A and B are shown apart, each in its own frame.
Chain A
């Protein structure tokens, strides 16, 4: 067992050199490479984590967006349904109103037609009745309907109450035109004379009298002095007849409306 101190010193130097060389060529490069690799892996891991977090955030955002879209879609659908319901209700209301208006127009038209028909019927029936009555009077009683009418008219003038008579007198004094007598049947000269006389006696002694025929009167006489009119006719009887006819036409189901009864 011997120690060569020179060799010892040399070995110490050798060892220190080896430490330096290995530090230079082995430990430092290896540790640096490992550290860099770990750092890179760490970076990539953190990047992956960040990317994952980003993706999760994106997914969350998309979920929220989808939810918002869903809710807005439901809201829009609800609004659309509401609008459709409103529109339908409005259209139905419009149609109902239009139908009601048409029905009203139709009813008015029908009423008018009915009135017109009744009017014509009354006219025809009235004339027919008068014709029959005139024939009956002529054939069986030897009397004339015109003269009967004239007689009745003169009687009625004579029986006029004071107020009505005053109105007629007043109208005659202001009238520039002659008094007008309308009758449903042609009056013979005798009847005309009687009527003129009655007018002159009761209303105005010097008023001129004109005679006209008016089929609308059916049976009766109408005296017009200025703005005053006095009428005697069979209209009241004919009105009753018309009422009866109306009831027959409508089966008694429709009430009469807007019809002013004729005076007699």
Chain B
């Protein structure tokens, strides 16, 4: 039994293997991009709007509102990154109901890649907001003694992100595989349905946590720049 789609190789050329993870990622990407393009190519700015456009507007608006709820000043700034994280993971997980499909999020390589993106995005957004010096100073907060712990925290939360998503998705797939061998029909269906819910929740958790990490960097800036605001709140 294959635990990771990485092991499912379609094509290999000079040591470079085209495995199921990459192929299904492309499938998900194609689905997302073509679906978006099909709708946004006929966008209406008037009063009558197509159902698909409404659906996309609802999705985009909801993601933006969620980002704003986490505390970002400019949700539009984070929307492409966080929104894509959510949409990619959610689509990849929901497609698990399709027979023969292996969710790329069930591969530790994918989740690590996404976690690395978050790991890089946090300092990038933070530096974009406050500059390199400001970002580096945040590692010395509240005291320089905390520097090693801050670095460990940065690394551990990235690992946690990657492993959480991988573990949830992979376990769902594995459990379904085991249940198919134990109980032929009923339980796997229930578990698939449960897997849909779990997949969406995981997508939400991953995206929100990424935003929380990015947002916490912004809030650090607010604390340092506007200490009176926090004092009055105490």
Binding site for B on A (CB under 8 A): 1-12, 14-19, 21-23, 25-27, 29-31, 33-34, 36-37, 40
The total of Cβ contacts below 8 Å across the A-B interface reads 113
B53: chain A residues at CB < 8 Å are: 30, 33
- What CA separation (Å) do A31 and B78 show in the bound complex? 13
B113: chain A residues at CB < 8 Å are: 7-12, 14-15
User: Which residues of chain B from 4 to 38 have any CB-CB distance to chain A below 8 Å in the complex?
Assistant: 4, 6, 16-17, 19, 21-22, 25-26, 29, 32-33, 36-37
Most buried by B among A11, A19, A23, A25: A11
- What CA separation (Å) do A4 and B112 show in the bound complex? 10
- What CA separation (Å) do A1 and B7 show in the bound complex? 11
Binding site for A on B (CB under 8 A): 4, 6, 16-17, 19, 21-22, 25-26, 29, 32-33, 36-37, 40, 43-46, 53, 56-57, 60-61, 76, 79-81, 83-84, 87-88, 104, 107-110, 112-114, 116-117, 166
A18 engages B88 (CB within 8 Å): yes
18 contacts between A and B (CB under 8 A): A4-B6, A4-B107, A7-B113, A8-B109, A8-B113, A9-B113, A11-B21, A14-B25, A14-B26, A15-B113, A18-B32, A18-B84, A19-B84, A22-B80, A26-B56, A29-B40, A31-B60, A37-B45
A8: chain B residues at CB < 8 Å are: 109-110, 112-113, 116
B40: chain A residues at CB < 8 Å are: 25-26, 29-30, 33
B109 engages A26 (CB within 8 Å): no
B36 engages A2 (CB within 8 Å): no
B21 engages A1 (CB within 8 Å): no
B45 engages A33 (CB within 8 Å): yes
- What CA separation (Å) do A16 and B40 show in the bound complex? 20
Closest B residue, CB atoms, query A17: B29
The 7 closest A-B pairs by CB, nearest first: A11-B113, A7-B109, A26-B36, A29-B40, A23-B80, A25-B36, A12-B113
A22 engages B56 (CB within 8 Å): no
Contacts A15-B84, A15-B113, A34-B61: A22 and B21 contacting too (C-beta < 8 A)? no
- What CA separation (Å) do A9 and B53 show in the bound complex? 33
CB < 8 Å neighbour of A4 from B19, B76, B81:
B19
- What CA separation (Å) do A108 and B88 show in the bound complex? 130
- What CA separation (Å) do A36 and B116 show in the bound complex? 36
B79 engages A15 (CB within 8 Å): no
A22 engages B87 (CB within 8 Å): yes
- What CA separation (Å) do A11 and B61 show in the bound complex? 27
A21 engages B33 (CB within 8 Å): yes
Contacts A1-B108, A12-B116, A25-B36: A33 and B44 contacting too (C-beta < 8 A)? yes
B114: chain A residues at CB < 8 Å are: 11, 15
A15 engages B88 (CB within 8 Å): yes
B57 engages A34 (CB within 8 Å): yes
Closest A residue, CB atoms, query B19: A7
- What CA separation (Å) do A180 and B17 show in the bound complex? 181
Closest B residue, CB atoms, query A15: B117
B108 engages A18 (CB within 8 Å): no
B25: chain A residues at CB < 8 Å are: 11, 14
- What CA separation (Å) do A29 and B4 show in the bound complex? 36
A26: chain B residues at CB < 8 Å are: 32, 36, 40, 56, 60, 83
